[in-house]
């Protein structure tokens, strides 16, 4: 049913992911599932945005805890299974988010690494699945990645709205290969949590609808740092982030 599964993913794909920090995996969910989750994602985000001005970029974190339909995508066996094969170690859910770029928006998500934003230690293999729920050609705001950038583990968090910030912090990355990966509905890119990535604006007249599921090592421990997911929890520095809010793959 799926073009790529944990059993069929090639060693070549896994080693490319390890080397470059990202990979495109076609058909991680079916076209029918993509359409079903596309509509559910738009409905879930309209519920949350109700009464607010429509933002250029909407981000809804941990939808899986509130929306039965989206929960099935976040906990989708094929997505988690492929993520765990790429990571090569036991993983658990960190969080999910629906990322919608409204039609004709002018705002890029500038180059950044994800991990510096997270209150984590002992999670060297964390990675994100960015699942296209509609066709995402370059003009609709697909992702680009900097090959090998996941090896930079010492950078402080980069400003998502400042296209120069990452390169100011790490000038070498300006000369590394950049890869832009348009996706069809149901395709997915996986990127390592320290792989620098960006997404161009959506210049089309349809929303760009993506669902991102983020996985962390089962060994991940808490480091004191503000984060929307862990702020409501009473975690102590050094404690494992685990339990029913962070289900194992
Ligand atoms: C985006 O989809 O615009 C950005 C996603 C990300 O930063 O992971
Ligand atoms: Ni990111």
Burial of 82 (0-12, 13-18, 19+ CB in 10 A): buried
Q: What average pLDDT does this structure show over 112-127? A: 97
pLDDT at 161: 92
Identify the pLDDT of residue 50: 65
d(CA 41, CA 210): 8
Indicate the average pLDDT of the chain.
Answer: 95
**What is the spatial distance between Cα 70 and Cα 88, in angstroms, rounded to a whole number?**
26
Cα(68) to centroid(ligand 1), Å: 23
99 lines ligand 1 (CB under 6 A): yes
Which residue, 225, 226, 249, 222, is CA-closest to 237? 222
pLDDT band at 56 (very low <50, low <70, confident <90, very high): low
Residue 122 pLDDT class (50, 70, 90 cuts): very high
Whole-Å CA distances, 26 to 4, 23, 208 = 7, 10, 18
3-state secondary structure of 148: coil
List, for residues 82-94, the tens digit of each pLDDT value. Answer: 999 999 999 999 9
What's the pLDDT at 244?
Answer: 96
Check: CB of residue 44 under 8 Å from CB of residue 133.
no
Average pLDDT over residues 95-105: 94
In a mutational test of the pocket of ligand 1, which residue from 163, 212, 213 has the highest number of ligand atoms less than 8 Å from its CB? 212
pLDDT of amino acid 53: 58
- Whether 51 has a pLDDT exceeding 80, the answer reads no
Over residues 43-62, mean pLDDT:
73
- Per-domain boundaries in the chain: 21-224
Is there an atom of ligand 1 within 6 Å of 209 CB?
A: no
The tens digit of pLDDT for each residue in 4-31 reads: 999 999 999 999 999 999 999 999 999 9
Q: Which atom of ligand 1 is nearest to the CA of 212?
A: 8
State which ligand 1 atom lies nearest to the alpha carbon of 109.
3
Looking at residue 182, what is its pLDDT? 98
Ligand 1 contacts CB of residue 199 (under 6 A): yes
Residue 143: both structure tokens together:
């992702």
Which of 197, 70, 72, 177 lies closest to 128 in space, CA to CA?
Answer: 197
d(CA 12, CA 193): 20
**Tokens standing for 91?**
């993983």
Q: Cβ contacts of residue 98 below 8 Å, gap of 6+?
A: 41, 44, 45, 58, 59, 60, 63, 70, 209, 210, 211, 212
Nearest by Cα to 133 from 1, 24, 6, 29? 29
> What DSSP line would sit under 70-136, residue for residue?
HHHHHT-HHHHHHHHHHH-S-EEEEEEEEEEE-TT----EEEE-SGGGS-EES-TT-EEEEEESS-B
pLDDT of residue 54: 54
Task: Convert the pLDDT of each residue in 187-242 to its tens digit.
Answer: 999 999 999 999 999 999 999 999 999 999 999 999 999 999 999 999 999 999 99
Q: Report whether residue 210 contacts ligand 1, using a CB cutoff of 6 Å.
A: yes
Mutate to test the pocket of ligand 1, among 41, 109, 110 (most ligand atoms within 8 A of CB): 109
Model confidence pLDDT, tens digit, residues 154-192: 999 999 999 999 999 999 999 999 999 999 999 999 999
List strands edge to edge, sheet with 91-101: 22-25, 188-192, 127-132, 208-217, 91-101, 57-61
Query: Residue 25: what pLDDT?
Result: 97
Q: Which fold has domain 21-224?
A: Jelly Rolls (2.60.120)
Contact 211, 41 (CB under 8 A): yes
Confidence at residue 213, expressed as pLDDT on a 0 to 100 scale: 98
8 A C-beta contact, residue 38 and residue 114: no
3-state DSSP assignment of residue 231: coil
Hey, which of 45, 60, 130, 180 would you mutate to test ligand 1's pocket, going by the most ligand atoms within 8 Å of its Cβ? 130
182 CA from centroid of ligand 1 (Å)? 13
Mean pLDDT for the stretch of residues 87-116: 95
Q: Which of 130, 106, 131 has the alpha carbon at shortest distance from 56?
A: 106
């Amino acid at each position: 049913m799926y073009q790529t599964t944990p059993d069929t993913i090639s060693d070549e794909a896994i080693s490319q992911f390890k080397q470059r920090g990202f990979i495109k995996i076609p058909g991680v969910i079916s076209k029918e599932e993509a359409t079903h989750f596309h509509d559910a994602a738009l409905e879930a985000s309209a519920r949350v945005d109700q009464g607010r001005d429509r933002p250029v970029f909407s981000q809804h974190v941990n939808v899986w805890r509130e929306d039965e339909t989206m929960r099935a995508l976040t906990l989708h066996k094929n997505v988690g299974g492929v993520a765990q094969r790429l990571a090569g170690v036991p993983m658990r859910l960190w969080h999910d988010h629906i990322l919608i770029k409204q039609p004709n928006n002018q705002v890029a998500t500038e180059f950044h690494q994800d991990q510096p934003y997270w209150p984590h230690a002992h999670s060297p293999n964390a990675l994100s699945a960015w699942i296209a729920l509609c066709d995402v050609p370059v003009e609709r705001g697909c992702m680009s990645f900097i090959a090998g950038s996941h090896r930079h583990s010492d950078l402080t968090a980069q400003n998502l709205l400042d296209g120069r910030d990452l390169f100011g912090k790490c000038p070498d990355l300006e000369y590394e290969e950049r890869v832009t990966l348009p996706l069809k509905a149901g395709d997915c890119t996986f990127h390592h949590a320290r792989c620098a990535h960006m997404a161009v604006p959506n210049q089309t007249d349809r929303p760009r609808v993506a669902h991102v599921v983020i996985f962390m090592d089962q060994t991940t421990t808490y480091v004191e740092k503000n984060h929307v997911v862990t702020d409501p929890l009473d975690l102590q520095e050094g404690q494992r982030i685990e339990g029913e809010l962070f289900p194992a793959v």
